[in-house]
């Protein structure tokens, strides 16, 4: 049974007509009245940037906040591969329905049909919009847009701008924001970090932010709050996320009443540069497109000492080709990642840490020539050489999976509104569109769909149909929230313990990676919960945060984030423990088919698990939104 608070508000009627119907039925805000509303947008990535620019164009006053020194640095910028759209420019059988279907299937049937269909519908508008903003997508000599097939898709629907698609799209959204800053409709607050959400009369009405430069806590009031704060992959310490990516805005909103949905759904990307030491601060993704020509292998015997290029074929195990003869090296992300882990668990890993597998271009170079391969992957090869110091033209690359994306996030309804009225959540920060596994080139699509084409309608409806009282930042709720933040700060600063914030973060990351990573099992998850609880206790006794509150104190910034990651990590383990099935990025070793594939349990788990915070001491409450599939058949994914 779906819990009462989890009303998805999906419009009735035919799937194909739901969004149009909803747009028509949504109430509008009169043009002259829009300027009376203020909207807070936290985060300026693809979702936040596009939402801020579009809402400002419509006439709302937008107050936008970003953690970096300028909105152009949000981590959307690092997406390499591309963005999907159902344009069918290649005439290869693509359609809105097929993109919808692929996304549902790719998500292993754990996403909401209506949301995903809408996503596929607006995907085409996104490409038009971004081209109009001057995004230099790849083109043919004749001037038409080029597409490529991505992540094992059977149609070429991915638009790309070299290996920098995320950057180009983000700069497009950013330029739209700058245009509206110039017009005075967006007020930009940089180097600010959201510390708490302010709820008044059960409506999200403002935020408390820390000004990183001065250390001051600031109060900001508005008529609605949009969280566009990205994912929480950094709970693993090492991930492909940026250093400042964090869960604090979402987590503190969760503590104020927003439900956290499917937190255990994390995506582990198979082609990253392996960890090389304890000092490592982050992992770098190598585009998945490399698997189009590279062959993945490990040596057949343990303790192999020969150089990889000296190992003959008969001593190599091309395990993806062996296990998945039809998809081979192009098997989906979760499948490829898990297979790499198995090989390393078997002691066949390579490199100094033995936690890597080879991705070999020898045969591709022999077949197509080094020039052709350089034309396709030259930039990536250069990047690899810069980081690792080895030449992939001569010796195989080493790769290993890394945490890349989090499908889970704050629960939202069809309007992208959380369980707190007025608090809307966009992009990776919400849970809605990718189910248990995200397809390649779909994250950019979702962020921009939410910001450009969904929230402008649904936010208008919220503002027009709710009574929002006039309040100022002197309201008691602001005082309370600010005090709460200040008390936590003072506690952290006063501990003067022996361990650094990073020590704790790394310890948490280790537990998460070992027990809540690519393959999970009951005993391990229970161990993780106990371990994280203990770590959390130690953190609040022994962390050392030097410096004071009213200064640029990034150890204090990090400490607040790690405190939240410790709580989130526990919830992720609990969520994984409660979901007794394997689906997409969530693989429980107890639930697999005889040949080692994920075994879903559609009887019991065809639902969204949304967690309600119930205090520091009490256990969180698991709510359920049942998922109904009326337009696609539930089927088992097979990549054999």
Instruction: Name the residue nearer to another protein (CB basis): 168 or 430.
Output: 168
Among 1, 141, 470, 630, binds another protein (CB under 8 A): 141
Of residues 344, 353, 260, the one with CA closest to residue 570: 260
Q: How far is the CB of 274 from another protein (least distance, A)?
A: 11
Q: Is 31 in the site for another protein (CB under 8 A)?
A: no
Two tokens, residue 155: 């149609």
Q: Distance (Å, rounded) from C-alpha 406 to C-alpha 410?
A: 11
Among 7, 69, 346, 469, binds another protein (CB under 8 A): 69
Q: Which of residues 203-222 bind another protein (CB under 8 A)?
A: 213
DSSP 245-260: --SHHHHHHHHTTPPE
CA 436 and chain centroid, separation: 12
Count the site residues for another protein by CB under 8 A.
Answer: 88
Stretches 14-22, 141-149, 422-430, 460-468: which one binds another protein (CB under 8 A)?
Answer: 141-149
* 614 phi, psi to nearest 5 deg: -130, 35
Two tokens, residue 11: 């419009």
Q: Which of residues 103-132 bind another protein (CB under 8 A)?
A: 125, 127-132
C-beta of residue 395 within 8 angstroms of C-beta of residue 381:
no
Instruction: Name the residue nearer to another protein (CB basis): 303 or 615.
Output: 303
Q: Is 34 in the site for another protein (CB under 8 A)?
A: no
Q: Which of residues 86-105 bind another protein (CB under 8 A)?
A: 87, 89
Among 5, 35, 36, 162, binds another protein (CB under 8 A): 162
Q: Is 375 in the site for another protein (CB under 8 A)?
A: no
333 given a catalytic annotation:
yes
Instruction: Name the residue nearer to another protein (CB basis): 79 or 296.
Output: 79
Q: Is 75 in the site for another protein (CB under 8 A)?
A: yes
Instruction: Name the residue nearer to another protein (CB basis): 242 or 528.
Output: 242
Q: Distance (Å, rounded) from C-alpha 374 to C-alpha 308?
A: 21
DSSP 115-146: HHHHHHHHHHHHHHHHHHTT----B-TTSPBP
Dihedral over Cα of 578, 581, 587, 589: its sign: positive
Q: Distance (Å, rounded) from C-alpha 415 to C-alpha 423?
A: 11
Instruction: Name the residue nearer to another protein (CB basis): 551 or 578.
Output: 551
Instruction: Name the residue nearer to another protein (CB basis): 352 or 541.
Output: 352
Q: Distance (Å, rounded) from C-alpha 605 to C-alpha 590?
A: 15
Among 103, 115, 123, 167, binds another protein (CB under 8 A): 167
Q: Is 554 in the site for another protein (CB under 8 A)?
A: yes
Instruction: Name the residue nearer to another protein (CB basis): 211 or 592.
Output: 211
C-beta of residue 388 within 8 angstroms of C-beta of residue 399:
no
Q: How far is the CB of 396 from another protein (least distance, A)?
A: 18
Q: Which of residues 304-343 bind another protein (CB under 8 A)?
A: none
Catalytic residue among 252, 333, 338, 561: 333
Number of neighbours of residue 509 by Cβ within 10 angstroms: 22
Q: Is 386 in the site for another protein (CB under 8 A)?
A: yes
Q: Is 68 in the site for another protein (CB under 8 A)?
A: yes
Strand spans (E) along 334-490? 357-360, 397-406, 409-410, 423-425
Q: Percent helix, strand, coil in the chain (nearest 5)? A: 40, 15, 40
Q: Is 400 in the site for another protein (CB under 8 A)?
A: no
Q: How far is the CB of 162 from another protein (least distance, A)?
A: 6
C-beta of residue 535 within 8 angstroms of C-beta of residue 508:
yes
Q: How far is the CB of 136 from another protein (least distance, A)?
A: 4
Q: Is 140 in the site for another protein (CB under 8 A)?
A: yes
C-beta of residue 575 within 8 angstroms of C-beta of residue 263:
yes
Q: Distance (Å, rounded) from C-alpha 17 to C-alpha 342?
A: 45
Stretches 169-177, 327-335, 415-423, 616-624: which one binds another protein (CB under 8 A)?
Answer: 169-177
Stretches 235-243, 328-336, 436-444, 594-602: which one binds another protein (CB under 8 A)?
Answer: 235-243
Q: Is 350 in the site for another protein (CB under 8 A)?
A: no
Q: Which of residues 252-291 bind another protein (CB under 8 A)?
A: 276-282, 284-285
Q: How far is the CB of 295 from another protein (least distance, A)?
A: 25
Q: How far is the CB of 558 from another protein (least distance, A)?
A: 10
**Which class for 227: exposed (0-12), middle (13-18), buried (19 or more C-beta within 10 A)?**
buried
Stretches 5-13, 25-33, 509-517, 542-550: which one binds another protein (CB under 8 A)?
Answer: 542-550
Q: How far is the CB of 137 from another protein (least distance, A)?
A: 7
Q: How far is the CB of 199 from another protein (least distance, A)?
A: 30
Q: Is 382 in the site for another protein (CB under 8 A)?
A: yes
CA 503 and chain centroid, separation: 24
**Pattern 450-489, another protein, x by CB under 8 A:** --xx--x---------------------------------
Among 201, 352, 466, 614, binds another protein (CB under 8 A): 352
Q: Is 502 in the site for another protein (CB under 8 A)?
A: yes
Q: Distance (Å, rounded) from C-alpha 372 to C-alpha 194?
A: 47
Q: Distance (Å, rounded) from C-alpha 383 to C-alpha 377?
A: 10
Query: Which residues are CB-contacts of 633 (< 8 A; sequence separation ≥ 6)?
Result: none
Among 380, 383, 493, 610, binds another protein (CB under 8 A): 383
Two tokens, residue 181: 């800053």
Q: Distance (Å, rounded) from C-alpha 272 to C-alpha 591?
A: 27
Among 555, 597, 601, 602, binds another protein (CB under 8 A): 555
Two tokens, residue 269: 């990307």
C-beta of residue 490 within 8 angstroms of C-beta of residue 559:
no
> What are the catalytic residues?
333
């Amino acid at each position: 049974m779906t819990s009462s608070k989890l009303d998805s508000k999906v419009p009735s009627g035919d799937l194909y007509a739901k969004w149009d119907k909803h747009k028509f039925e949504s109430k509008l805000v009169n043009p002259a009245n829009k300027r009376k509303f203020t909207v807070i947008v936290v985060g300026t990535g693809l979702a936040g940037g596009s939402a801020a620019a579009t809402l400002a164009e419509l006439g709302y006053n937008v107050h936008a906040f970003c953690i970096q020194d300028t909105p152009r640095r949000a981590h959307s910028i690092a997406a390499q591969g591309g963005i999907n759209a159902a344009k069918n420019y290649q005439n290869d059988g693509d359609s809105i329905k097929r993109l919808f279907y692929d996304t549902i299937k790719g998500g292993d049937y754990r996403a909401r049909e209506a949301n995903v269909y809408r996503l596929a519908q607006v995907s085409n508008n996104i490409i038009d919009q971004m081209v109009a903003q001057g995004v230099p997508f790849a083109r043919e000599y004749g001037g038409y847009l080029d597409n490529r097939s991505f992540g094992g898709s059977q149609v070429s629907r991915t638009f790309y701008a070299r290996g920098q698609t995320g950057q180009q799209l983000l700069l497009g959204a950013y330029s739209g924001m700058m245009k509206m800053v110039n017009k005075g409709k967006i007020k930009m607050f940089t180097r600010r970090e959201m510390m708490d959400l302010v709820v008044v009369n059960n409506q999200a009405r403002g935020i408390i932010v820390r000004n990183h430069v001065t250390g001051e806590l600031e109060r900001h009031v508005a008529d609605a709050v949009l969280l566009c704060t990205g994912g929480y992959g950094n709970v693993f310490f090492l991930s492909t996320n940026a250093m400042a990516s964090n869960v604090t805005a979402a987590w503190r909103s969760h503590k104020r009443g927003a439900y956290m949905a499917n937190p255990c759904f994390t995506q582990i990307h198979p082609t990253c540069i392996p960890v090389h030491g304890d000092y490592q601060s982050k992992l770098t993704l190598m585009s998945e497109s490399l698997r189009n020509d590279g062959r993945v292998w490990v040596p057949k015997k343990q303790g192999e000492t020969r150089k990889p290029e000296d190992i003959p074929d008969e001593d190599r195990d091309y395990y993806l080709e062996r296990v998945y003869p039809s998809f081979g090296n192009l098997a989906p992300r979760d499948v490829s990642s898990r297979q790499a882990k198995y090989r390393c668990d078997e002691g066949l890993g390579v490199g100094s840490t033995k936690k890597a597998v080879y991705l070999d271009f020898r045969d591709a170079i022999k077949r197509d020539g080094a020039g052709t391969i350089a034309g396709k992957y030259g930039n990536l090869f250069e990047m690899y050489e810069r980081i690792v110091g080895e030449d992939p033209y001569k010796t195989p690359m080493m790769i290993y999976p890394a945490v890349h994306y989090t499908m889970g996030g704050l629960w939202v309804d069809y309007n992208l509104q959380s369980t707190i009225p007025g608090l809307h959540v966009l992009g990776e920060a919400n849970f809605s569109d990718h189910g248990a596994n995200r397809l390649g080139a779909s994250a950019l699509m979702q962020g921009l769909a939410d910001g450009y084409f969904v929230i402008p309608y649904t936010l208008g409806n919220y503002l027009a149909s709710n009574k929002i009282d006039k309040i100022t930042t002197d309201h008691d709720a602001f005082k309370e929230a600010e005090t709460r933040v200040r008390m936590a700060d003072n506690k952290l600063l006063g501990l003067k313990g022996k361990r650094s914030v990073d020590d704790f973060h790394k310890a948490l990351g280790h537990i998460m990676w070992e027990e809540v990573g690519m393959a999970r099992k009951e005993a391990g998850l229970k161990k993780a919960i106990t371990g994280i609880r203990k770590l959390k206790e130690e953190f609040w006794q022994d962390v050392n945060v030097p410096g004071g509150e009213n200064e640029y104190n990034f150890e204090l910034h990090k400490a607040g984030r790690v405190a939240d990651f410790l709580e989130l990590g526990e919830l992720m383990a609990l969520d994984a423990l409660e979901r007794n099935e394997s689906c997409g990025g969530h693989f429980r070793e107890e639930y697999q088919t005889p040949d080692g594939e994920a075994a879903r349990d559609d009887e019991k788990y065809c639902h969204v698990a949304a967690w309600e915070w119930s205090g520091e001491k009490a256990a969180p409450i698991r709510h359920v939104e049942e998922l109904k599939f009326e337009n696609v058949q539930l089927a088992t994914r097979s990549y054999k």
